């Protein structure tokens, strides 16, 4: 197994234009790891605190969510449907990233944060076994030298990444606003004869052009409005349509749903749209620092009844939850007892027959801030917050 240590250059702010007079090679360099040294130091301290509490000396990180969070935005995938192509051992001496030999060059050049030691193994090797053996620390509990598996501290790691740090919050806000703008651009050019596949492909192209990965792309026209997770088909949009995008950039996942229609809408549709926004407003009111997620889940169920959707409506689709380095981290149920913290992102997605509302938001000292916002999209004010309405063309 080979190893190197690299130092990453300081990146430009995401989306910033290249400075005048910058050398040509800067435009051809591909990508620089976005990691903030200050944020990574805090994250390492949080993981060491977990090790202290467990009386262990090393932890093996193996999932997309944990890796992209701890590395502060590194891309550790090839296939969006596949396992990570890296594993990280965190021990008392430092951070060790292990990847396959055919990935090591790109990881070193474009994804490796400063101060992380890179190790490579043959493409046919066992990534996790190799990563478990690269550190020098020995465990003080359990078998000597055996790192703590990530699964054993899943709850602690989730708590460690709940509160976004300053550089993360900036990157997330930028991605979310860009995604909202993409939705406006694409949906405003659609028509009744546009097919679901055409709309989804236009959204996918714009997301990829923005340097992000479209993890979820859903679309239904009026003929398929009863489906709440509608994979696109060749059906035309007809008189109204819904589009859903979950896009990931630098590890962070922004989520958004928007509706468009090509007539005035029926009284029943307009009423249901107003009522689902009222359900969401009640959920937002409950999403405050210190609130437990199981208690918020109880408020969600009550809100459906309060606004005329029925007591069983929450069972027809998941309701969302904390966001960030996973689409939902986790999906909220009656069994999730995590507590809301300041600067934590959320994506709630209440839905009813033919209606749904969804944005990525963040809990801040000033209150709940909507991140997936585009000033060009029509809105109405619900409980003092501007919320998206259906775009009428």
Q: What is the tens place of the pLDDT at every residue in 305-333?
A: 999 999 999 999 999 999 999 999 999 99
What pLDDT is recorded for position 30?
80
What pLDDT is recorded for position 1?
58
Checking if the pLDDT of 349 tops 90, the result is yes
CB burial readout 373-384, b (16+ within 10 A) else e = bbeebeeeebee
Please, are residues 203 and 188 in contact by the beta-carbon 8 Å criterion? no
Checking if the pLDDT of 17 tops 70, the result is no
Q: What is the mean pLDDT of the chain?
A: 91
What pLDDT is recorded for position 226?
93
Please, are residues 271 and 265 in contact by the beta-carbon 8 Å criterion? no
Confidence label for 33 from pLDDT (cuts 50, 70 and 90): confident
Specify the pTM.
0.91
Q: Is it true that domain 2-160 has CATH number 2.40.37.10? A: no
Please, are residues 161 and 341 in contact by the beta-carbon 8 Å criterion? no
Query: For the chain, what are the domain ranges?
Result: 2-160, 166-392
Q: Percent of the chain beyond pLDDT 90?
A: 89
pLDDT by residue (tens digit) across 68-111? 999 999 999 999 999 999 999 999 999 999 999 999 999 999 99
In this chain, the answer to whether the domains covering 2-160 and 166-392 adopt an identical fold is no
What pLDDT is recorded for position 374?
98
What pLDDT is recorded for position 135?
77
Q: Is it true that domain 166-392 has CATH number 3.90.230.10? A: yes
SS (H, E, C) the chain: CEEEECCCCCCCCCCCCCCCCCCHHHHCCCCCCCCCHHHHHHHHHHHHHHHHHHCCCEEEECCHHHHHHHCCCCCCCCCCCCCCCEEEEEECCEEEEEEEHHHHHHHHHHHCCCCEEEEEECCCCCHHHHHHCCCCCCCCCCCCCCCEEHHHHHHHHHHHHHCCCHHHHHHHHHHHHHHHHHHHHHHCCCCCCCEHHHHHHHHHHHHHHCCCEEEEEEEECHHHCCCCCCCCCCCECCCEEEEEEEEEECCEEEEEEEEEECCCCCHHHHHHHHHHHHHHHHHHHHCCCCCEHHHHHHHHHHHHHHCCCCCCHHHHCCCEEECECCCCCCCCCCCCCCECCCCCEEEECCEECCEECECCEEEECCEEEECCCCCCCCEEEECCEEEECCEEC
What pLDDT is recorded for position 332?
98
Confidence label for 243 from pLDDT (cuts 50, 70 and 90): very high
What pLDDT is recorded for position 9?
30
- Residue 134's closest CA among 107, 83, 94? 94
């Amino acid at each position: 197994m080979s190893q190197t240590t690299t130092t990453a250059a300081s990146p430009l702010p995401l989306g910033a234009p290249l400075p005048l007079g910058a050398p040509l090679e800067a435009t051809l360099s591909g990508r620089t790891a976005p990691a903030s040294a200050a944020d990574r130091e805090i994250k390492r301290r949080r993981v060491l605190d977990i090790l202290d509490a467990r009386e262990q000396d090393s932890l093996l990180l193996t999932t997309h969510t944990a890796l992209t969070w701890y590395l502060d935005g590194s891309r550790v995938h090839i296939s969006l449907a596949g396992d990570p192509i890296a594993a990280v051992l965190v021990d008392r001496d430092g951070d060790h990233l292990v990847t396959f030999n055919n990935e090591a060059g790109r990881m070193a050049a474009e994804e490796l944060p400063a101060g992380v030691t890179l190790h490579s193994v043959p493409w046919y090797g066992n990534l996790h076994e190799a990563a478990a053996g690269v550190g020098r620390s020995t465990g003080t509990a359990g078998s000597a030298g055996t790192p703590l598996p990530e699964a054993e501290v899943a709850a602690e790691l989730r708590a460690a990444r709940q509160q976004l740090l300053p550089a993360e919050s900036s990157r997330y806000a930028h991605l979310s606003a860009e995604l909202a703008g993409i939705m406006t651009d694409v949906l405003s050019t659609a028509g009744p004869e546009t097919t679901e596949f055409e709309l989804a492909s236009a959204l996918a192209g714009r997301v990829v052009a923005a340097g992000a990965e479209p993890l979820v792309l859903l679309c239904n026209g009026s003929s398929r409005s009863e489906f709440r997770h509608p994979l696109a088909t060749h059906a035309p949009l007809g008189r109204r349509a819904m589009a859903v995008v979950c896009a990931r950039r630098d590890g962070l996942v922004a989520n958004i749903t928007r509706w468009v229609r090509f007539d005035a809408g029926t009284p029943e549709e307009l009423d249901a749209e107003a009522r689902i926004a009222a359900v969401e407003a009640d959920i937002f009111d409950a999403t405050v620092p210190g609130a437990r997620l199981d208690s918020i889940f109880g408020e969600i169920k009550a809100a459906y009844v309060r606004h005329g959707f029925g007591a069983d409506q929450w069972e027809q689709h998941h309701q969302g939850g904390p966001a960030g380095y996973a689409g939902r981290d986790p999906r909220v149920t009656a069994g999730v007892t995590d507590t809301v913290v300041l600067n934590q992102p959320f994506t709630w997605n209440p839905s009813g027959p033919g209606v749904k509302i969804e944005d990525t938001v963040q809990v801040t000292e000033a209150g709940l801030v909507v991140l997936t916002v585009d000033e060009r999209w029509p809105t109405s004010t619900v409980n003092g917050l501007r919320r998206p309405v259906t775009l009428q063309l």
